[in-house]
Amino acid sequence: MFPTPIANTSLPTRLLYKVGLPVALLVWLLPIIAVAFTSVRGLGDLSSGNYWGLPTDWRIIENYSAVFNNTPLATYILNSFLVTIPTVIGALTLACMAGFALGVYRFKFNLLVFFIFVGGNFIPFQILMVPVRDLSLRLGLYDTITGLVLFHIAFQTGFCTFFMRNFIRELPRELIEAARVEGASEIQIFFKVVLPLVRPAVAALSVLIFTFIWNDYFWATVLIQGSHAMPVTGGLKSLNGIWVAQWHLVSAGSIVAAMPPVLIFFLMQKHFIAGLTFGATKG
Amino acid sequence: MTSSSATSPDSLAKPGWWSRHQMALVPWLFLTPAMLMFMVYVIAPIFESIAISFYDWDGLGTPKFIGLGNYIELMGDPDFMVSLKNNVIWFFGFLLSIPMGLGLALLLNQQVFGIRLAKSLFFFPFVISQVVIGLVFSWFYDPTNGLLLHVMAALGMDPVAILSDDRLVTYGIVVAGLYPQTAYCMILYLTGLNNLRPDLIEAARLEGAKGWTMLFKIVLPQLRPATFIAVVVTIIGSLRSFDMISIMTQGGPYGQSRVLAYYMYEKALSEYGYRMGYGTAIATVLFLLMLVYIIFVLYRVYKQEQETD
């Protein structure tokens, strides 16, 4: 183990670590703690300049209900779900299929197709912006949730296929061979042999893609105009323009917007990190 | 199971067309939906963008072919040069997240009470949208009542309005960007540290290696895969930077915090104009810069493939 386990170090070091760790954590999270506190501050605190101390009066219900009642925040949140959930399902469906094809079969162009998916992941979004916006306009999908979902599915399919293909390739080949000997068709192999085995990968990718799409801001800005379809990231930006220096409302809105991915992260932490660090430990 | 069922008389002698060809056809059948989507929304637009960059086009009227006109204009465009310079600042600034992430990972790679919770809390910034992080940091930098103001006053320094100072603004945004990026690198290194070979560490300890020697000679070489991923995602993240700039300054003051990704958007799709051709020319430059890393990544994946085969 590296560094040396703290239990094996001298007493002063151990004490320093025990005290230092919470302090470091507090400093690290200061931005987020400050936002959480400010989201429950009353106007009195803000006008008297108490931005950084403890709130003097707690306005939890007032601030949060103000954010929901006076702004389309609830619509933004709903839109984010309407964009994120179909994207996760769509991208994973396509990626399981493509990953199966690339991971199980040897055929000409296999590696080339794989490389297109891998390379496509790393391109700057801006090179896609004008044509994708133009395509959406022509298809009548500009400023609609469907248009945004279709693009997200396509782009995330690249990353998910990369991941699924590598995962499927690591599966023991004997399982597939055995199924073939038993007379299973290739399509049955996909549904009965491979799909049940890729569940951990699907879980890891689902939480990861959920977070990525929920937090997307660029495409929401490019493909959506009105609040009827705007996800919460873009919505927060436009609200920020209205709430000039009303930091308690900005904070409450930010907390609400950050909640779903944070909850998912805490519930599915193991999967989330498995997805994120995939490939970081070998090779 | 397939079309060759035992009941049809000639199936035993001659399997159906489908079952004879399914090994060759199935992969393409399964690939088609993903390939179609990826071609339409990702691959084709790259080429379209490059094509549009040779035109003068407002997005509505008839595009007019001007050859390298947009690129020639870029060469003499001071705003483009500022964006390019800021991309360089982002690039080097962002790379700091790698040693910082490694430092945090080393700090947290312990087995004490509550360390799991500490690790996830340290990772928190990465899970939150950059929009939220951007808002928080703008508030930190707020010249009337931001935390930075209070800290500087406490240290007896003159207060600085970071986001409206044309020399400091990009650095201020990079610091905000480093916050989630460091968390990401930390997680990559924590996973790497988890998979160190204990025998090598013990052997090195017996030889008397410790501290920095141990870190540089024994540990870092084993962390190379993690470092590789950290470098790739950090470089790409730095070239993609858009969210923070859009939230915190919208490129200001006077365009001094623009980067290529933001400048492109501003030229092609904002109240400043709908110059699609010029915008795609900027995007093409950005793409070519990124292509260096894409090829670098693909080359490594290719080498790995050859080793495993």
Residues A192-220: tens digit of each pLDDT = 999 999 999 999 999 999 999 999 999 99
Average pLDDT (B181-200) is: 92
Q: Is the pLDDT at B301 greater than 80, yes or no?
A: yes
Residue from B139, B197, B274, B278 whose CB has the most chain A CBs within 10 Å, to mutate: B139
CB contact under 8 A, A97 and B19: no
Facing residue for A218 by CB, picked from B41, B242, B298: B242
Residues of B in contact with A122 (CB under 8 A): 232, 236, 290, 293-294, 297
Contact B242 A125 (CB under 8 A): yes
Across the interface, of B37, B136, B236, the residue whose CB is closest to A35 is: B136
In chain A, what percentage of residues exceed pLDDT 90?
A: 64
Please name which of B228, B41, B59 lies closest in space to residue A283, comparing C-alpha atoms: B228
Q: With CA atoms as reference, report the closest residue to A129 among B86, B250, B262.
A: B262
Give the start-to-end residue ranges of the domains of chain A.
7-67, 73-277
Question: What pLDDT score does B8 carry?
Answer: 47
**B285 touches B74 (CB < 8 A):** yes
d(CA A195, CA A99): 11
Mean pLDDT (chain A) is 90
Residue A283 has pLDDT above 70, yes or no: no
Contact across the interface for B31 and A101, Cβ inside 8 Å? yes
Q: What is the pLDDT of residue B11?
A: 46
Find the angle CA(A231)-CA(A232)-CA(A234) to the nearest 5 degrees: 75
Tokens linked to B65: 């072919």
Beta bridge partner(s), residue A41:
A58
Q: Let me know: does B239 contact B283? Beta carbons within 8 Å.
A: no
* C-beta atoms of A254 and B106 within 8 A: no
Rounded to whole angstroms, how far apart are CA atoms B27 and B30? 5
Helix ranges, B128-259 (H): 130-141, 147-154, 169-194, 198-206, 211-213, 220-222, 224-240, 243-248
CATH number for the domain running over A73-277: 1.10.3720.10
Name the pLDDT band for B6 (thresholds 50, 70, 90).
very low
Contact A157 B37 (CB under 8 A): yes
Residue type, B199: D
Question: Residue B220 contacts by C-beta under 8 Å, 6 or more apart in sequence?
Answer: B227
| CA gap B146, B162 in Å, rounded | 11
pLDDT at B57 over 80: yes
Q: Which of B27, B106, B111 sits opposite A5 (nearest CB)?
A: B111
Interchain CB contact of A240 with B (< 8 Å) = yes
Q: Given CA atoms B35, A91, A168, B195 in this order, what sign does their dihedral have?
A: positive
Structure confidence at residue A281 as a pLDDT band (50, 70, 90): low
Nearest one of B43, B55, B62 to B281, comparing CA atoms:
B55
Q: Give A41 to chain B, closest Cα distance, Å.
A: 15
Query: What SS3 class is residue A228?
Result: coil
Nearest to B280 among A95, A130, A283 (CB): A130
| Block residue for tokens 């930390």 | B186
| B196/A130 Cβ within 8 A | no
d(CA B25, CA A181): 19
Residues of A in contact with B130 (CB under 8 A): 215, 217
Residue B252 amino acid letter: G
Name the residue in chain B with its Cα closest to that of A156.
B38
Q: Cβ of A51 and B145 within 8 Å?
A: yes
Between CA A127 and CA B48 the distance in angstroms is 9
